[in-house]
């Protein structure tokens, strides 16, 4: 399977796609202003204080900006430029900030729509300028696709190893390797990590559920009973948060319809690996990748939503893989609205179920940690490959040096975004050196 994109990915949008992005950005900014949902999982826990009046709009906006800026400019923009596919860091994180920043309800959707216009009208111009430079660092960034796609497939192995030990981790590793080799041999047009990831995630879930079932049986055999407090403050908070979200069910259904429609248009990818798969037209493989990620985020999104009263802009992210596979926009909107309705209505039930499955909750934590670990290595390695493509040893020196400098300075740019940001800065520096007649671009 080829993992290299055609040179010069472009961000050309049809009128329908432009309007969808602009209107969805307006809607998400409005919902953020209402403190009903935000995309950044790190911002959501701070929303309860804002909703209950213990924190003001300015302070909450500052938190959102501090947690999001690195991902917007260091990951979202570079990924969009290198793949020609939009992503949630570029589309939804800025509307989190703009919605919270807006002092008036009517102003929030205007600010969100303005950001949507910047995306659909401004990115392609920046893309064209970058491609016309002597050192085309945007095309060089497509080197990131191979390490991201292949290393990302290992995240279930890491999660199993962390939670259930080296023996089960070794079994998962051998199984995934065998499935990758088999897929490359028998189905070369298929994403090689698809079956491997499916097997790994299913194995992790099976191990976690088995552990929880055995523990509950052991507790019952030992006469241990679950104590439920009538005046449990967390249960009261969860109930109030769920009721608050249900009051705005029509708005969430509209949001689900919009996000699913965006995914159906195939101009949007829900993750790093997904963006490259969407760019190559491998929509079923992209749906598989984003579906497996869902298992790592349902417990986090459900519990933070119930604890804070603010949901996720993309919900449990199920609308991503569903949208990729929808045959037409109308069906995508109907299904997306239905999925969001079911998610919001089921929040309380999901919270109760997760409370009885501690190992499954732990699996979610390990999955997210493993996804982060694999992507950090893949993005760093891919960024160094891009640096080598741009400027050989000098490119590696600049990009690697910027990454190490960021580490030494305490990571002012978050680690996952630091390497792609370094590629862009390094590409600009190499172009400046070329104009000063101090550097000759590598041919080919």
* Number of residues that this document lists for the chain: 444
Q: Given a cut of 50, is residue 6 above it in pLDDT? A: no
Distance between CA atoms of residues 146 and 193, nearest Å: 11
Distance between CA atoms of residues 208 and 79, nearest Å: 34
What pLDDT is stored for residue 174 in this prediction? 94
Q: What's the pLDDT tens digit per position in 392-443?
A: 889 999 999 999 999 999 888 888 888 898 999 999 999 999 899 888 887 6
pTM of the model: 0.85
Distance between CA atoms of residues 298 and 278, nearest Å: 23
Q: Among 47-61, 88-102, 338-352, which stretch is predicted with the lowest mean pLDDT?
A: 47-61
- Per the structure block, which two tokens stand in for 328? 């037409």
Distance between CA atoms of residues 317 and 132, nearest Å: 36
Contacts of 60 (CB under 8 A, 6+ apart): 43, 46, 47, 49, 50, 100
What pLDDT is stored for residue 2 in this prediction? 47
Unique residue bearing structure tokens 């993309």: 314
What pLDDT is stored for residue 1 in this prediction? 47
- In the chain, domain spans: 15-151+228-435, 153-221
- Return the higher-pLDDT residue of 365 and 224: 365
What pLDDT is stored for residue 443 in this prediction? 64
What pLDDT is stored for residue 92 in this prediction? 95
Distance between CA atoms of residues 99 and 366, nearest Å: 32
What pLDDT is stored for residue 357 in this prediction? 77
Q: Given a cut of 70, is residue 57 above it in pLDDT? A: yes
What pLDDT is stored for residue 352 in this prediction? 81
- Per the structure block, which two tokens stand in for 331? 């069906």
- Per the structure block, which two tokens stand in for 19? 């309007």
3-state secondary structure of 268: strand
What pLDDT is stored for residue 236 in this prediction? 63
Q: What's the pLDDT tens digit per position in 265-275?
A: 999 998 888 99
Helices (H), 102-193: 107-117, 123-131, 137-140, 145-152, 155-164, 166-186
Distance between CA atoms of residues 41 and 89, nearest Å: 12
Q: Given a cut of 90, is residue 365 above it in pLDDT? A: no
Q: What is the distance in angstroms between the CA of the first residue and the CA of the last residue of the chain?
A: 22
> 8 vs 18, 46, 124, 381, CA distance in Å?
20, 40, 11, 21
Helix orientation angle between 347-355 and 283-308, rounded to the nearest 10 degrees: 80
Q: What's the pLDDT tens digit per position in 32-41?
A: 999 999 998 8
The phi, psi pair for 213, rounded to 5°, reads -65, -45
Contacts of 162 (CB under 8 A, 6+ apart): 169, 366, 369, 370
Q: Quick one: pLDDT band at residue 359, thresholds 50, 70, 90? A: confident
Please give the angle made by the CA atoms of 54, 58 and 60, to the nearest 5 degrees.
60
Percent of the chain with pLDDT over 90: 40
Distance between CA atoms of residues 251 and 36, nearest Å: 10
Q: Quick one: pLDDT band at residue 10, thresholds 50, 70, 90? A: low
Distance between CA atoms of residues 30 and 282, nearest Å: 33
Q: Are 391 and 135 in contact (CB under 8 A)?
A: yes
- Per the structure block, which two tokens stand in for 60? 């909450």
Q: What's the pLDDT tens digit per position in 188-223?
A: 877 888 888 888 888 888 898 888 888 888 877 777
- By C-alpha distance, which of 282, 277, 302, 432 is closest to 364? 302
Unique residue bearing structure tokens 């216009």: 117
What pLDDT is stored for residue 252 in this prediction? 95
- Per the structure block, which two tokens stand in for 251? 């708005």
Q: Given a cut of 60, is residue 226 above it in pLDDT? A: no
- Return the higher-pLDDT residue of 210 and 5: 210
What pLDDT is stored for residue 248 in this prediction? 93
Distance between CA atoms of residues 269 and 282, nearest Å: 11
What pLDDT is stored for residue 235 in this prediction? 58
Q: What's the pLDDT tens digit per position in 112-163?
A: 999 999 999 988 787 778 777 888 888 888 888 888 888 888 888 999 999 8
- Per the structure block, which two tokens stand in for 363? 């699996």
Q: Are 332 and 262 in contact (CB under 8 A)?
A: no
């Amino acid at each position: 399977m080829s993992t290299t994109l055609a040179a010069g990915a472009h961000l050309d949008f049809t009128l329908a796609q432009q309007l969808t992005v602009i209107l969805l950005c307006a809607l998400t900014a409005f919902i953020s202003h209402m403190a009903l949902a935000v995309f950044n999982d790190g911002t959501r826990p701070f929303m309860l204080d804002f909703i209950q009046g213990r924190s003001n709009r300015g302070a909450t906006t500052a938190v959102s900006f501090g947690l999001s800026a690195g991902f917007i400019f260091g990951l979202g923009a570079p990924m969009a430029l290198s793949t020609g596919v939009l992503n949630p860091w570029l589309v939804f994180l800025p509307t989190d900030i703009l919605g919270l920043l807006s002092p008036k309800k009517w102003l929030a959707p205007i600010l969100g729509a303005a950001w949507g216009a910047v995306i659909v009208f401004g990115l392609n111009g920046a893309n064209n300028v970058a491609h016309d430079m002597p050192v085309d660092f945007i095309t060089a960034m497509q080197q990131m696709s191979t390490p991201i796609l292949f290393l990302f497939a290992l995240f279930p192995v890491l999660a199993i190893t962390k939670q259930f030990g080296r023996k089960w981790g070794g079994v998962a590793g051998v199984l995934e390797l065998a499935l990758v080799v088999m897929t490359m041999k028998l189905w070369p047009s298929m994403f090689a990590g698809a079956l491997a990831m499916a097997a790994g995630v299913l194995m992790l879930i099976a191990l976690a559920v088995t552990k929880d079932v055995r523990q509950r049986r052991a507790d019952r055999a030992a006469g241990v009973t679950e104590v439920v407090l009538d005046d449990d403050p967390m249960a009261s908070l969860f109930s109030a948060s769920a009721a608050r979200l249900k009051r705005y069910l029509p708005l969430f259904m509209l949001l689900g319809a919009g996000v699913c429609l965006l995914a159906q248009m195939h101009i949007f990818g829900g993750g790093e690996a997904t963006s490259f798969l969407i760019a190559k037209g491998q929509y079923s493989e992209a749906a598989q990748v984003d579906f497996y990620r869902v298992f790592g985020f349902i417990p986090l999104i459900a519990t933070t939503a119930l604890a804070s009263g603010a949901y996720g802009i993309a919900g449990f992210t199920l609308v991503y893989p569903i949208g990729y596979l929808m045959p037409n926009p109308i069906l995508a909107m109907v299904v997306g609205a239905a999925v969001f309705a079911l998610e919001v209505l089921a929040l309380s039930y999901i919270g109760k179920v997760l409370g009885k499955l501690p190992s499954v909750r732990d699996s979610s934590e390990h999955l997210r940690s493993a996804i982060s670990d694999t992507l950090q290595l893949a993005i760093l390695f891919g960024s160094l490959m891009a640096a080598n493509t741009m400027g050989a040893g000098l490119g590696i020196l600049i990009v690697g040096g910027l990454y190490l400098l960021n580490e030494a300075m305490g990571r002012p740019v978050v680690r996952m975004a630091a390497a792609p940001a370094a590629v862009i800065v390094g590409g600009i520096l190499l172009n400046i050196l070329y104009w000063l007649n101090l550097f000759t671009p590598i041919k080919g």
